[in-house]
Structure 1
Amino acid sequence: MAGEDSIEVKFRLFDGTDIGPSKYDPSTTVASLKEIILARWPQDKEIAPKTINDLKLINAGRILENNRTLAESRVLVGEVPGGVITMHVVVRPPQFDKNNAKQPTKTPRQNRCQCTIL
């Protein structure tokens, strides 16, 4: 049965909220997972990705490549059989084009350390 081979994954956002868990076929690509995340992204978040290139998926400390499948991206060490895999989602900050867009002004750092070591 296909349901037995599916992998249950939830996506943890930067603020600790989750998308999922949902079951996915092991042949699902990371790019497809990112498209699903974009479609299910909570509308109330200030920071929101615009494309799949704005997202990074991290599983067990590894950044997952778009062309890899879910089965290839799994880390079997430490996984509980039949358990939910938690993947962390990182949103890349917007990139500014140096030629066309005005870059934000640099604000002075407020938390500077003024220590002197003798």
Structure 2
Amino acid sequence: MSGNDQIELKFRLFDGTDIGPNKFDSSTSVGSIKETILARWPAGKEITPKSINDVKLINAGRVLENNQTIAESRMSVGELPGAVITMHAVVRTPVVDKSNDKHSAKIAKSNRCECAIL
């Protein structure tokens, strides 16, 4: 496959809506594709990614890495020439800061009633 092949991709979001289809060069990195997804993310969604690291792209059951190109990451099984490839775009949930979480739990415990019934 040459580096200038055009691949048509569509991205399915968690709620079933789609972004695209858009044509990308096969040498385009997954990170660049995620930037395009962020730029075209529908307004008004309850869950919105803040950076490309908040988005996971899944193609044929595989999570794609930001440093891979489309050509390196796509699977040829089941793809028809000229067909639109649908990838799932999943928003990663933010990682909970353990130190902040312990502080919140400590505050919640201190606000409880500590009466003893005899």
TM-score normalised by length of structure 2? 0.80
Return the offset for 1:74.
1.1
- Aligned partners of 2:86, 2:55: CA distance in 1, in Å? 15
* Match in the other structure for 1:23: 23
Deviations 1:85-118 (A, max 9, x none): 000011011222223467887xxxxxxxxxxxxx
Deviations 1:14-73 (A, max 9, x none): 011000001000010000011111111011100000111111000000000110001111
Which residue type is aligned with residue 26 of structure 2?
A: P
Which residue type is aligned with residue 34 of structure 1?
A: K
* Match in the other structure for 2:79: 79
- Aligned partners of 1:36, 1:88: CA distance in 2, in Å? 14
Give aligned-pair identity as a percent: 70
Alignment of 1:36-55 (within 5 A): 36-55=36-55
Structure 2: gaps spanning 5 or more residues: 106-118
* Match in the other structure for 1:97: 97
Matched residues, number: 102
Structure number with greater Rg is 2
Report SS of the residue matched to 1:99. Answer: helix
Name whichever structure is richer in helix by fraction. 2
Structure 1: gaps spanning 5 or more residues: 106-118
The answer as to whether partners of 1:96 and 1:103 remain within 8 angstroms in 2 is no
TM-score normalised by length of structure 1? 0.80
- Aligned partners of 2:79, 2:86: CA distance in 1, in Å? 10
Report SS of the residue matched to 1:37. Answer: helix
